[in-house]
């Protein structure tokens, strides 16, 4: 069976989550698919796994370590495990799909 993840399902997962900001839609092995919808500020810290954000709506600036880059709908942003990162100066409609994957500590680059 194909499991279809829609923005409507994603928003429902966020609404049902403990923090109202991040909802988990799917877990399979080391992979987790979630949806992130911060309000006003992004106070997240580094994570134990590598991750990819795929911007669904909105725009702003993404900080990863000492780097800053503008983002918009459709952009994909990679963050290695344990690297400081956050979304700043983002629009009120900002939301992103989030994919965590791999071993704790991140995968080796090659």
pLDDT digits (tens, 9 = 90+) for 19-73: 999 999 999 999 999 999 999 999 999 999 999 999 999 999 999 999 999 999 9
Mean of the pLDDT values across residues 2-31? Answer: 93
* Six token digits for residue 39: 């309000």
The answer to whether 57 touches 94, Cβ cutoff 8 Å, is: yes
Mean of the pLDDT values across residues 1-19? Answer: 89
pLDDT in the model for residue 25: 95
Q: Which are the contacts of 30, defined by CB distance < 8 A and separation ≥ 6?
A: 49, 100, 101, 102, 103
For 4, 34, 36, 37, 60, the CA distances from 73, given in Å and listed in that order, are 20, 17, 14, 14, 10
Band (pLDDT 50/70/90 cuts) for residue 2 is low
pLDDT in the model for residue 108: 76
Strand order in the sheet with 76-79: 22-28, 31-36, 95-101, 50-57, 76-79
The tens digit of pLDDT for each residue in 69-98 reads 999 999 999 999 999 999 999 999 999 999
The tens digit of pLDDT for each residue in 61-70 reads 999 999 999 9
Q: Quote the pTM value.
A: 0.92
pLDDT in the model for residue 81: 96
* Six token digits for residue 28: 């399979």
- CA–centroid distance for 47 within its chain: 11
């Amino acid at each position: 069976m194909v499991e279809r993840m829609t923005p409507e399902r994603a928003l429902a997962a966020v609404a049902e989550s403990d923090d109202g900001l991040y909802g988990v839609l799917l877990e399979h092995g080391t992979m987790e698919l979630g949806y992130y919808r911060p309000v006003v500020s992004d106070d997240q810290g580094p994570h134990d796994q590598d991750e990819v954000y795929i911007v669904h709506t909105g725009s702003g600036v993404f900080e990863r370590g000492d780097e800053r880059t503008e983002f918009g709908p459709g952009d994909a942003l990679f963050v290695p495990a344990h690297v400081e990162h956050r979304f700043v100066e983002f629009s009120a409609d900002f939301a992103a799909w989030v994919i965590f994957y791999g071993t704790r500590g991140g995968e080796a680059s090659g």
